[in-house]
Amino acid sequence: MTVPAKTVPGELIGCWQRKWIEFADGTRDDTSFVVWLQLPSLMADVRLSAAALEMGGRSSFSMDELLVLADSDSSSGATTCTPVVVRADGVRCATAEWSSAVGFQPVSAFPEPGLLEWNSDGTVMMERAPSGTYTEEWHLLPESRGPLSHSVLSDGAEWFQAGSVGVLVRDRPGTLPPVSRLAELTDRGAMEAAIDCEFSFASLADGVWTIQHSTLPWQVGALVGL
């Protein structure tokens, strides 16, 4: 297991859970499960709608349900971030950008840099798009600042760990059709192949890593073999 050289400020490291996102039209989502695990440079996030969460533990789905599963924007890759500066009002802020190595979607729905601000103790972070498209509130998960690690497992999957939580990323075995969003696919076989891309959030208890939420619902409850 390795931790790459640091390219982000310490304020950003750990696992953050999104409390809500609000878009420019006033629409707010506070029911989706979204976590962003940030190592010194590498990152992974898991994004699941409330409807997708309800399918946890299942292994068969209607086409409409496959469309729900196909809506995730989970990704992994690397983060670059400017140094933290302190504004005149005392707020610490920085600007982050992301490059994707594995993406659940062919084209990211969040291509802009993120304008970040932290509260006084660094446990709450606000993220804003420069265009004003969205604002997000993130909360640092307890005990997720370390130990930090990244490893490639024997089957090629990647494991990202921040303290007692982790994200397992397993890329789809095939290539994607030329679409921007998986929901554009109308063929069931093509859809099933496209969503065969795992982003699983796991937690540690009694020395065992258990998957709590996943883009592959049948993985919920499974153990992570490290």
Q: What are the residue ranges spanned by the domains of the chain? A: 10-219
Is 5 a residue whose pLDDT tops 70? no
pLDDT of res. 210: 98
Distance between CA 8 and CA 79 in Å, rounded? 7
CB atoms within 10 A of CB 171: 17
Distance between CA 123 and CA 139 in Å, rounded? 6
Is 198 a residue whose pLDDT tops 60? yes
CATH 3.40.50.450 fits 10-219, yes or no: no
Is 1 a residue whose pLDDT tops 70? no
Distance between CA 217 and CA 42 in Å, rounded? 25
Torsion angles phi and psi, residue 191, rounded to 5: -65, -45
Is 171 a residue whose pLDDT tops 90? yes
Is 7 a residue whose pLDDT tops 90? no
Using 50, 70 and 90 to split pLDDT, how confident is the model at 109? Answer: confident
Identify which of 199, 180, 185, 221 has the alpha carbon closest to the alpha carbon of residue 66: 185
The residue-averaged pLDDT of 5-27 equals: 93
pTM, whole model, 2 decimals? 0.95
